[in-house]
A and B are shown apart, each in its own frame.
Chain A
Amino acid sequence: AQSVTQPDIHITVSEGASLELRCNYSYGATPYLFWYVQSPGQGLQLLLKYFSGDTLVQGIKGFEAEFKRSQSSFNLRKPSVHWSDAAEYFCAVSSGGYNKLIFGAGTRLAVHP
């Protein structure tokens, strides 16, 4: 069965530091992969997605992610974190058609000034 694992429940970084959030998936075929961000009290917003082609994808707010098939990973990165990036981040894989998504448990990011 398809699944998504986000190994880090909570991460704290200093403002201006680089960030990498980990995501591992289990999926039999070529996956469609997504990263969403949820600010406190808000719904989820798409950061970026991977369907095919270039394995390094760019998203909004300066985020990027790299698809590595050999490692079944789709890690999210940002070179310099801003205080406004504090939020919860969800990795997801498309499962069974109709754009249904399986989500990871999420990683909560805190940013220290």
Chain B
Amino acid sequence: NAGVTQTPKFRILKIGQSMTLQCTQDMNHNYMYWYRQDPGMGLKLIYYSVGAGITDKGEVPNGYNVSRSTTEDFPLRLELAAPSQTSVYFCASSYPRGADTGELFFGEGSRLTVL
């Protein structure tokens, strides 16, 4: 059982470049999330999705875009990379709360550096 898989694990971008962080999960979870982690700041929610075709902004969405065409995949796109987007990005998924778990399952993270 692979769980939540993120690619790439590491990437260096130049200012102004674009890229997509890929995330896929094989647990048939409805909910998916993108968080960024900065030192001393914990994790901040960028975007989330409650099902295919439905996405919404989190706490820090500026500079990012997402799509959810399938239950399994939730890619995060950076259109014009800026140094402030240097961070570790985590994708996560979960069941709806009706399943009474509340637990988020996390990928191993993608470390992005913008120079």
Known interface pairs A44-B90, A105-B40. Does A100 touch B45 (Cβ–Cβ under 8 Å)?
yes
Given the known inter-chain contacts A97-B97, A99-B31, A100-B33, please indicate yes or no for A34 contacting B41, CB distance below 8 A: no
Q: State the interface size on chain B (CB cutoff 8 A).
A: 27
Q: Are A105 and B97 in contact (CB under 8 A)?
A: no
Q: A99 and B42 in contact (CB under 8 A), knowing A43-B4, A43-B90, A44-B90?
A: no
The answer to whether the Cβ of A101 comes within 8 Å of any Cβ in the partner chain is: yes
How many residue-residue contacts, CB under 8 A, span A and B? 63
Chain B residue contacts of A103, Cβ below 8 A = 35, 42-44
Find out whether the CB atom of B102 lies under 8 angstroms from the CB atom of A34: yes
- Give complex CA distance A99, B96 in Å: 7
Indicate if A32 sits at the interface (CB-CB under 8 A). Answer: yes
The listed residue with most B CB atoms (<10 A of its CB), out of A97, A98, A105, is A98
Contact B42 A43 (CB under 8 A): no
- Apart from A9-B40, A34-B103, A41-B109: 20 A-B pairs, beta carbons within 8 A: A4-B42, A32-B102, A34-B102, A42-B108, A43-B108, A43-B109, A46-B104, A49-B102, A98-B48, A98-B96, A99-B95, A99-B97, A99-B104, A100-B45, A101-B45, A101-B104, A103-B35, A103-B44, A105-B40, A105-B41
